[in-house]
Amino acid sequence: MRSFFGKYKLFFLVLFCISAVIIYLFYNALIPQEKLPIYQPSMVNPELVDSTLQKKRKYHTIADFSLTNQNGKRITQADYKDKIYIADFFFTTCPTICPIMTKNMMEIQEYIKDDDVLLLSHSVTPEIDSVAQLKKYALEKGVDDIKWNLVTGDKKLIYDLARKSYLAVKTDGDGGPFDMIHTENFILVDKERRIRGFYDGTNTDEIEKLLGDLEILQNSYLK
């Protein structure tokens, strides 16, 4: 018997390896892979979506943009090409939710410091948030210029991005054409400029969920 197994040792070893591979493949096939939704305007609270897009069900992406960051550099969609990034809307003089959002975004900045992931914060009061004001704020908060752009610019463009691209703000109802109430949302955007998640930027549990979803999204590009 021993001589029989010795004679066919290589055969049994190869058979074992092939069986292990087959079992592994079947196991992975039976376990559903984690995937994030691709958000469309029709899936989001209508209060946060421009009326022209509320029924749109597919092909929604972040529009082209040209804004200015805390260093006076022009920032466009090209700076985020083929990048996963997290966006939000804020203003430097906000006394309520913005400090909490910024603190939590700082934690995300630390988490992604070695990853190819970026951050993008849009000022909703560009008439107040000049380049100098954004730079002051960035220095005070510890913003890493390589990872995180705080941007200002044309208010209509920022408003349109908020309402028509990121689906992230409400109008404030005072009759102004480009006035808005920004939400606490952090928005996860994939390399194809699609929205993959919304998270309460003031809630630590939501930040943990964002980081978990970020890992799922990153892994989806490794396959």
142 φ, ψ (degrees, to nearest 5): 85, 35
The answer to whether 98 is annotated as binding is: yes
Tell which residue, 59, 38, 45, has the closest CA to residue 188: 38
Helical pair 97-111 and 204-220, crossing angle rounded to 10 deg: 40
Residues 98/91, Cβ–Cβ less than 8 Å: yes
Binding residue per annotation — 60?
Answer: no
Q: Which residue reads 């018997």 in tokens? A: 1
User: Whose structure tokens read 């809307």?
Assistant: 89
Look at residue 187 and give its three-state secondary structure.
Answer: strand
Q: Who's near 221: CB < 8 A, 6+ residues apart? A: 191
Strand partners, 205: none
182 is in an annotated binding site: yes
According to DSSP, residue 152 is labeled: B
Per DSSP, what are the bridge partners of residue 181? 170
Residue ranges of the annotated binding site for Cu cation are: 94, 98, 182
Residue ranges of the annotated binding site are: 94, 98, 182
